[in-house]
Structure 1
């Protein structure tokens, strides 16, 4: 099994072929070894091209994708996971998530198919995304395979304390999407002050804080400068005072929110 890097490269909204291919190649050249996509992003094929064209061997890259909410029936999971692997150009998808427990999600059928994919070697590990704690608990009990990761929106303004504690208790990774809150971290005075103190960017501070909390951020970027800037967060060491200051921020601001979201239907 491949190691799971502390920082990943997100590809949400990279829907233009050339832009996506170049972004993936740039990210790998910068040092990223974890690339995250989704069927819903409609760019798995482009991500696969970037992986194939890079000088980095695809076997050295941790590749993750997610099932579309329309593809969660038993047969659809089996079929579309194989299609995703083909588009990505990998023999085994390192991590396959249930993107949202919505629409065609059926706990018994969906999770049984994921267990079958693990057994067949089509996927290496099972992930869940955007689940409530009670849904996570039920899924963990239903699956034969362990849940390797849970991916949720997480950043300094949405600190996900309950899900962080749950991940620690149940021994799975917490992966943070929208980790810089679409750059709203740059409007937070506390984060800006810490960034100036360390001669860093607000984005780097947010990413470093997430990693300090044990989460794996997957920032999306298109420009080479932003891709490299985000990766440099690995070299930023926040002190206890910095972490405490960020911990004290109001942490109730969601970027991704809609009426059908699981947390609005508890």
Structure 2
């Protein structure tokens, strides 16, 4: 949002309370409502909302929240833009590399099929929920995002304090691939999806070369100048995280083929640079 405002664009935020200021519009994703006045005149709509996958232990209720927060919200937005007399030119809808499931050492791109398990099934339903927008002829792009390197949230937000304390290390055997992207490149890639008319369907938002957890661990220790010798064994992670542990320990070796082919240039393709950028804010 700050990036768009800095370039002189008008931005409307969807809020789940009464609109308190200009530039806000009310929506109720569970109830299927979006204020149509708030969306009027928008050239692009970006929807990335969803409950944090790693925020809580995966109970049946929280798994339902993970799914519903993505599927119901996307369906609400898609129906709203499809019903507009002058719809936006593009809908950029969130998704994730979780779509591919555990790929082990196999490299995959946007042509790969969905994997098996809870997160792949969520991603499949998440993307399918945008069908009304696609049927209305709105260019719809699915941003299949990897692990965003940020000190402010997500998986990396939890890693930084641990590594700063000198307690960081690999997870499991460390051989699983992590497909990451710097926060700067994530924002720039989302802008690229908005601004590139030829892009439609799934686009992987990950750095050009995925790294193993062991390589990421070494980079964190190197940049932070802290030891990274500790390790959390797989059985301990299963005790700590429950079902979510299988996804943390799983491997996703994902390449951003369509993003690269469309001319996108990464500012932080190297993991050390991505970590330094996150520390610099």
When the two structures are superposed, what TM-score results if normalisation uses the length of structure 2? 0.31
> Could you say which structure has the higher helix fraction?
1
TM-score of the superposed pair, with normalisation by structure 1: 0.32
Q: Which has the higher strand share?
A: 2
